[in-house]
Amino acid sequence: EDQVTQSPEALRLQEGESSSLNCSYTVSGLRGLFWYRQDPGKGPEFLFTLYSAGEEKEKERLKATLTKKESFLHITAPKPEDSATYLCAVFNTPLVFGKGTRLSVIA
Amino acid sequence: NAGVTQTPKFRVLKTGQSMTLLCAQDMNHEYMYWYRQDPGMGLRLIHYSVGEGTTAKGEVPDGYNVSRLKKQNFLLGLESAAPSQTSVYFCASSYSRLEPQHFGDGTRLSIL
Protein backbone atom coordinates (compact mmCIF):
# COMPACT_ATOMS: atom_id res chain seq x y z
CA GLU A 1 0.00 0.00 0.00
CA ASP A 2 1.31 3.44 -0.94
CA GLN A 3 2.09 5.61 2.07
CA VAL A 4 3.23 9.18 2.59
CA THR A 5 4.61 10.34 5.95
CA GLN A 6 5.42 13.94 6.75
CA SER A 7 7.57 15.12 9.61
CA PRO A 8 7.54 16.92 11.88
CA GLU A 9 3.79 17.32 12.45
CA ALA A 10 4.38 20.86 13.67
CA LEU A 11 7.35 23.21 13.54
CA ARG A 12 7.83 26.56 15.19
CA LEU A 13 10.60 28.82 13.88
CA GLN A 14 11.86 32.27 14.64
CA GLU A 15 11.86 34.66 11.70
CA GLY A 16 15.07 34.07 9.76
CA GLU A 17 15.68 30.60 11.22
CA SER A 18 16.07 28.20 8.28
CA SER A 19 14.84 24.62 8.46
CA SER A 20 13.56 21.66 6.42
CA LEU A 21 10.33 19.68 6.23
CA ASN A 22 10.43 16.00 5.33
CA CYS A 23 8.12 13.88 3.18
CA SER A 24 8.97 10.17 3.02
CA TYR A 25 7.06 7.80 0.81
CA THR A 26 6.67 4.17 -0.10
CA VAL A 27 5.35 4.03 -3.65
CA SER A 28 6.12 1.50 -6.31
CA GLY A 29 7.37 3.37 -9.35
CA LEU A 30 7.14 7.00 -8.33
CA ARG A 31 5.81 9.14 -11.20
CA GLY A 32 5.78 12.45 -9.42
CA LEU A 33 5.56 14.29 -6.10
CA PHE A 34 3.71 17.53 -5.39
CA TRP A 35 4.12 20.09 -2.63
CA TYR A 36 1.17 22.26 -1.60
CA ARG A 37 0.68 25.07 0.89
CA GLN A 38 -2.59 25.35 2.82
CA ASP A 39 -3.64 28.44 4.78
CA PRO A 40 -6.37 28.21 7.47
CA GLY A 41 -9.82 28.16 5.92
CA LYS A 42 -8.46 27.78 2.39
CA GLY A 43 -7.86 25.00 -0.08
CA PRO A 44 -4.34 23.71 -0.83
CA GLU A 45 -2.30 25.89 -3.16
CA PHE A 46 0.12 24.23 -5.55
CA LEU A 47 3.84 24.96 -5.02
CA PHE A 48 6.06 22.43 -6.84
CA THR A 49 6.12 19.27 -8.91
CA LEU A 50 9.13 16.92 -8.77
CA TYR A 51 9.33 13.98 -11.15
CA SER A 52 12.69 12.28 -10.65
CA ALA A 53 15.37 11.75 -8.00
CA GLY A 54 17.87 14.57 -7.94
CA GLU A 55 15.41 17.15 -9.20
CA GLU A 56 15.18 20.51 -7.38
CA LYS A 57 12.72 23.39 -7.68
CA GLU A 58 12.89 26.84 -6.06
CA LYS A 59 10.41 29.61 -5.40
CA GLU A 60 11.35 32.61 -3.27
CA ARG A 61 12.42 31.22 0.15
CA LEU A 62 11.32 27.65 -0.65
CA LYS A 63 13.36 24.90 -2.27
CA ALA A 64 12.06 21.38 -2.86
CA THR A 65 14.32 18.39 -3.46
CA LEU A 66 13.64 14.74 -4.24
CA THR A 67 15.48 11.47 -3.58
CA LYS A 68 14.33 7.92 -4.24
CA LYS A 69 12.68 7.65 -0.82
CA GLU A 70 11.91 11.17 0.36
CA SER A 71 11.48 14.82 -0.46
CA PHE A 72 12.53 17.87 1.50
CA LEU A 73 11.07 21.34 1.53
CA HIS A 74 13.82 23.71 2.63
CA ILE A 75 12.77 27.08 3.97
CA THR A 76 15.50 29.72 4.00
CA ALA A 77 15.18 32.77 6.27
CA PRO A 78 11.43 32.31 6.75
CA LYS A 79 9.04 35.18 7.37
CA PRO A 80 5.77 35.18 9.34
CA GLU A 81 3.82 35.04 6.07
CA ASP A 82 5.33 31.59 5.41
CA SER A 83 3.22 30.23 8.29
CA ALA A 84 0.90 27.58 6.87
CA THR A 85 0.43 23.84 6.62
CA TYR A 86 2.62 22.26 3.95
CA LEU A 87 1.34 19.12 2.27
CA CYS A 88 3.12 16.67 0.04
CA ALA A 89 1.40 14.21 -2.27
CA VAL A 90 2.75 11.41 -4.40
CA PHE A 91 1.30 10.60 -7.75
CA ASN A 92 -0.82 7.49 -7.93
CA THR A 93 -4.32 6.96 -9.23
CA PRO A 94 -4.88 9.67 -8.24
CA LEU A 95 -2.86 11.38 -5.46
CA VAL A 96 -1.89 10.08 -2.01
CA PHE A 97 -1.49 12.95 0.45
CA GLY A 98 0.53 13.15 3.62
CA LYS A 99 -1.04 14.66 6.74
CA GLY A 100 1.02 17.81 6.52
CA THR A 101 3.44 19.88 8.59
CA ARG A 102 2.05 22.93 10.40
CA LEU A 103 4.67 25.65 10.20
CA SER A 104 4.57 28.70 12.48
CA VAL A 105 7.09 31.49 11.94
CA ILE A 106 7.34 33.93 14.82
CA ALA A 107 8.50 37.52 14.31
CA ASN B 1 -11.03 33.74 -13.89
CA ALA B 2 -12.50 32.14 -10.75
CA GLY B 3 -10.67 28.77 -10.88
CA VAL B 4 -12.53 26.24 -8.73
CA THR B 5 -15.67 27.45 -6.96
CA GLN B 6 -17.51 25.47 -4.29
CA THR B 7 -21.08 26.06 -3.15
CA PRO B 8 -22.12 26.40 -0.35
CA LYS B 9 -19.23 27.46 1.89
CA PHE B 10 -20.94 26.37 5.12
CA ARG B 11 -23.87 24.11 5.92
CA VAL B 12 -25.43 22.51 8.98
CA LEU B 13 -27.60 19.43 8.49
CA LYS B 14 -29.58 17.11 10.70
CA THR B 15 -28.92 13.39 10.63
CA GLY B 16 -30.84 11.77 7.79
CA GLN B 17 -31.15 14.89 5.65
CA SER B 18 -29.81 14.98 2.13
CA MET B 19 -27.88 17.65 0.29
CA THR B 20 -25.75 18.31 -2.76
CA LEU B 21 -22.42 20.11 -2.87
CA LEU B 22 -21.60 21.87 -6.12
CA CYS B 23 -18.17 22.31 -7.66
CA ALA B 24 -17.58 24.41 -10.75
CA GLN B 25 -14.31 24.99 -12.64
CA ASP B 26 -13.62 27.40 -15.47
CA MET B 27 -10.23 26.03 -16.58
CA ASN B 28 -11.55 23.42 -19.03
CA HIS B 29 -10.03 20.63 -16.93
CA GLU B 30 -10.88 17.03 -17.72
CA TYR B 31 -10.28 15.62 -14.25
CA MET B 32 -12.25 16.58 -11.16
CA TYR B 33 -12.05 15.26 -7.60
CA TRP B 34 -13.86 15.38 -4.27
CA TYR B 35 -11.87 15.09 -1.03
CA ARG B 36 -12.70 15.28 2.63
CA GLN B 37 -10.27 16.66 5.20
CA ASP B 38 -10.50 15.67 8.84
CA PRO B 39 -8.14 16.53 11.73
CA GLY B 40 -5.32 13.99 11.93
CA MET B 41 -6.46 12.21 8.77
CA GLY B 42 -5.28 14.46 5.99
CA LEU B 43 -6.99 14.71 2.62
CA ARG B 44 -8.85 11.58 1.54
CA LEU B 45 -10.31 11.05 -1.92
CA ILE B 46 -14.05 10.33 -2.04
CA HIS B 47 -14.79 10.14 -5.78
CA TYR B 48 -13.25 11.45 -8.95
CA SER B 49 -14.05 11.92 -12.62
CA VAL B 50 -11.79 11.61 -15.66
CA GLY B 51 -14.20 13.38 -17.99
CA GLU B 52 -17.79 14.39 -18.63
CA GLY B 53 -20.17 11.53 -17.87
CA THR B 54 -17.60 9.46 -15.95
CA THR B 55 -17.12 8.84 -12.24
CA ALA B 56 -14.96 6.52 -10.14
CA LYS B 57 -14.62 5.61 -6.47
CA GLY B 58 -11.80 6.88 -4.34
CA GLU B 59 -10.57 5.84 -0.92
CA VAL B 60 -13.73 6.65 1.10
CA PRO B 61 -16.77 6.53 -1.23
CA ASP B 62 -19.39 5.01 1.09
CA GLY B 63 -22.37 7.26 1.81
CA TYR B 64 -21.65 9.59 -1.12
CA ASN B 65 -22.72 9.77 -4.75
CA VAL B 66 -21.41 11.99 -7.55
CA SER B 67 -22.40 13.13 -11.00
CA ARG B 68 -20.52 14.87 -13.83
CA LEU B 69 -23.21 15.81 -16.34
CA LYS B 70 -21.26 18.82 -17.62
CA LYS B 71 -17.51 19.09 -18.00
CA GLN B 72 -17.27 22.13 -15.77
CA ASN B 73 -19.40 20.81 -12.89
CA PHE B 74 -18.95 17.98 -10.40
CA LEU B 75 -21.67 17.33 -7.83
CA LEU B 76 -21.27 15.49 -4.52
CA GLY B 77 -24.43 14.14 -2.91
CA LEU B 78 -25.17 12.90 0.57
CA GLU B 79 -28.39 10.88 0.47
CA SER B 80 -28.80 10.38 4.23
CA ALA B 81 -26.33 12.45 6.22
CA ALA B 82 -24.60 10.92 9.25
CA PRO B 83 -22.54 12.65 11.98
CA SER B 84 -19.44 10.80 10.69
CA GLN B 85 -19.73 12.87 7.53
CA THR B 86 -19.02 16.09 9.41
CA SER B 87 -15.92 17.37 7.66
CA VAL B 88 -14.45 19.95 5.32
CA TYR B 89 -15.03 18.97 1.69
CA PHE B 90 -12.67 20.10 -1.06
CA CYS B 91 -13.14 19.92 -4.77
CA ALA B 92 -10.17 19.95 -7.14
CA SER B 93 -9.55 19.79 -10.87
CA SER B 94 -6.61 19.12 -13.20
CA TYR B 95 -5.80 18.86 -16.91
CA SER B 96 -4.57 15.31 -16.58
CA ARG B 97 -3.51 12.71 -14.00
CA LEU B 98 0.07 14.01 -13.93
CA GLU B 99 -0.76 17.70 -13.75
CA PRO B 100 -1.15 19.54 -10.39
CA GLN B 101 -4.64 19.70 -8.97
CA HIS B 102 -6.24 23.09 -8.32
CA PHE B 103 -8.42 23.26 -5.24
CA GLY B 104 -11.46 25.25 -4.19
CA ASP B 105 -11.72 26.81 -0.73
CA GLY B 106 -13.89 24.09 0.71
CA THR B 107 -17.35 23.47 2.13
CA ARG B 108 -17.57 23.16 5.90
CA LEU B 109 -20.33 20.67 6.67
CA SER B 110 -21.65 19.88 10.14
CA ILE B 111 -24.16 17.10 10.73
CA LEU B 112 -25.97 17.10 14.04
Q: Is B33 on the interface with A (CB under 8 A)?
A: yes
pLDDT, greater one: B109 or A94: B109
Count other Cβ atoms within 10 Å, centred on residue B28.
Answer: 9
pLDDT attached to residue A41: 93
pLDDT attached to residue B1: 61
Q: Is the pLDDT of residue B54 over 90?
A: yes
**Average pLDDT, integer, range B41-59:** 93
| 8 Å CB contact between A95 and B101 | yes
Distances (CA, A) of B100 to B73, B83, B104: 18, 32, 13
CB nearest B105 (choices: A31, A43, A100): A43
pLDDT attached to residue B24: 98
Q: Which of residues 72-111 of B touch A (CB under 8 A)?
A: 90, 92, 97-98, 100-106
pLDDT attached to residue B32: 97
pLDDT, greater one: B84 or A94: B84
Q: Is the pLDDT of residue B65 over 70?
A: yes
**Average pLDDT, integer, range B14-26:** 97
Residue B16 makes CB contacts below 8 A (sequence gap 6+) with B80, B81
pLDDT attached to residue B42: 86
Residue B40 to residue A41, Cβ atoms within 8 A:
no
DSSP annotation string for B76-98? EEESS--GGG-EEEEEEEESSTT
**What is the distance between the alpha carbons of residues A50 and A33, in angstroms, rounded to a whole number?**
5
| pLDDT confidence band for A80 (50 / 70 / 90) | very high
| 8 Å CB contact between B45 and B33 | yes
Q: What is the mean pLDDT of chain A?
A: 93
CB nearest B101 (choices: A95, A98, A100): A95
For β-strands A62-66 and A56-59, DSSP reports them as antiparallel
pLDDT digits (tens, 9 = 90+) for A25-69: 987 777 889 999 999 999 999 999 999 999 999 999 999 999 989
pLDDT attached to residue A93: 63
**Average pLDDT, integer, range B54-83:** 96
